[in-house]
Amino acid sequence: MKREKNESDIKTKDPRRREAVDLFLHQHQLSLEADCEIVIVAEYQRRIVGCGAIAGCVLKCIAVDPSLQGEGLSLKLLTELMTLAYELGRSELFLFTKPYNAALFSCAGFWPIARAGDRAVLMENSRERLARYCRQLRMYRQPGEKIGAIVMNANPFTLGHRWLVEQAARQCDWLHLFVVKEDASFFSYQDRVALIEQGIAGIDNVTLHPGSAYLISRATFPGYFLKDKGVVDDCHCQIDLQLFREHLAPALGVTHRFVGSEPLCELTRNYNLRMRQLLEAPGDAPTIEVVELARVEKEGAPISASRVRKLYQQRQWSAIEPLVPPGTLAFLMHLAESERQTA
């Protein structure tokens, strides 16, 4: 069993090795995703017969040659990946796989926590962690008949985000604001949280919750075992929203989920539509009403984080200023100066 370096190192330092891993995965209808940090490879007679990868706290790209299936190699690969993850200080682990593989991973101590039909299942290496997290959330329950929630990336926080939070807070007895935790964004999670905290100052009936692994980011949702991009996006929607409706929302008593309208990005627009279908449909968990608020505009165009990022790349400070709170503007200008000094 050999540990390979991350994808970029394989590609730049040993392209033949990278190609061999890629070829092996493609033979199993899988692919090596860009966020894979470390790949573990099993070889027999100088031929790859199995591999697995780590991306953050997610184990992925686990495949075994059909001739060796049933020999225990999958569990050996998984054990090696888990050991390596623990060595890296990552004890809370997840994996996404097809449902027919769930029994195999259950043997290694993983439990299913959400499922998208017969196409994907999310598992974690704890029977109690999700329930424990929900018990912690219950400490932040607030009284009232209308309890709202917003999940935002805020990459970075804009006056459009501020307006959305203000409008939702006015309509609710209390509002819970969640931040997407992943660091696949242009700005780091820590920076985004700090800007949100500054940006919502003065709105009293809001709780800002730290990011959670149970808010599944589209940027980090693994689609390596799903061939169709549309299927990947829908599986992400189902798993993310199932966790929210069945676990997070009941813990806080959430009755309404607020989103901004999406005139620019078709993918986000489709997610909002799917959200309404999945959260408002009758089911075992309480329904959640989805409230879509029209996005605020400035100078004839919607205020969006993507618009701010584009202007930031061009250092168009006069154009950025009317789109963001003072704290975000100061942060961007400081960041630009730091980049200039280190260039």
Residue with the bigger pLDDT between 117 and 221: it is 117
Residue 184 above 80 pLDDT? Answer: no
- The average confidence (pLDDT) of the chain is 89
Q: What is the pLDDT of residue 233?
A: 82
Please tell me the distance from the alpha carbon of residue 290 to that of residue 306, in angstroms, as a whole number. Answer: 24
Residue 205 above 50 pLDDT? Answer: yes
Tell me the three state secondary structure of residue 78: helix
Q: What is the pLDDT of residue 201?
A: 97
Q: Taking residues 15-22, what's their average pLDDT?
A: 79
CATH superfamily of 2-127: Gcn5-related N-acetyltransferase (GNAT) (3.40.630.30)
Candidates 107, 137, 106; CA nearest to 121 is: 106
β-pair partners for 148: 175, 256
Q: How many CB atoms neighbour CB 62 within 10 A? A: 24
Q: What is the pLDDT of residue 7?
A: 37
Residue with the bigger pLDDT between 84 and 22: it is 84
CB contact burial 80-116 (16+ within 10 A = b; e otherwise): bbbebbeeeeeeebbbbbeeeebeebeebebbebbbb
Asked which of 140-144, 235-239, 329-333 is least confident by mean pLDDT, the reply is 235-239
Residue with the bigger pLDDT between 26 and 129: it is 129
* Spacing of C-alpha 102 from chain mean position: 21
pTM metric for this prediction: 0.89
C-alpha distance from residue 235 to each of 30, 136, 283 (Å) = 16, 27, 18
Q: Is the CA virtual torsion 40, 97, 127, 147 positive or negative?
A: positive
Q: Taking residues 309-334, what's their average pLDDT?
A: 97
Please tell me the distance from the alpha carbon of residue 245 to that of residue 278, in angstroms, as a whole number. Answer: 9
CB contact burial 224-252 (16+ within 10 A = b; e otherwise): bbbeeeeebbbbbbbbbbbbbbbbbbbbb
The pLDDT confidence band at residue 342, using thresholds 50, 70 and 90, is: confident
pLDDT, tens only, 224-234: 566 666 778 88
pLDDT, tens only, 270-304: 889 999 999 999 999 999 999 999 999 998 899 99
Q: Is the CA virtual torsion 181, 306, 295, 222 positive or negative?
A: negative
Asked which of 17-21, 59-63, 86-90 is least confident by mean pLDDT, the reply is 17-21
Asked which of 49-58, 217-226, 319-328 is least confident by mean pLDDT, the reply is 217-226
Which residue spans of the chain are classified as CATH 3.40.630.30? 2-127
Percentage of the chain beyond pLDDT 90 is 64
Residue with the bigger pLDDT between 343 and 12: it is 343
Asked which of 71-85, 99-113, 190-204, 258-272 is least confident by mean pLDDT, the reply is 258-272
pLDDT, tens only, 27-71: 888 888 878 888 899 998 888 999 999 988 999 888 899 888 878
Q: Is the CA virtual torsion 195, 276, 172, 129 positive or negative?
A: negative
Q: Which CATH architecture has domain 132-342?
A: 3-Layer(aba) Sandwich (3.40)
Q: Taking residues 104-110, what's their average pLDDT?
A: 92
Residue 8 above 50 pLDDT? Answer: no
- How, if at all, do strands 174-179 and 206-209 pair? parallel
Residue 9 above 60 pLDDT? Answer: no
Q: Taking residues 256-277, what's their average pLDDT?
A: 88
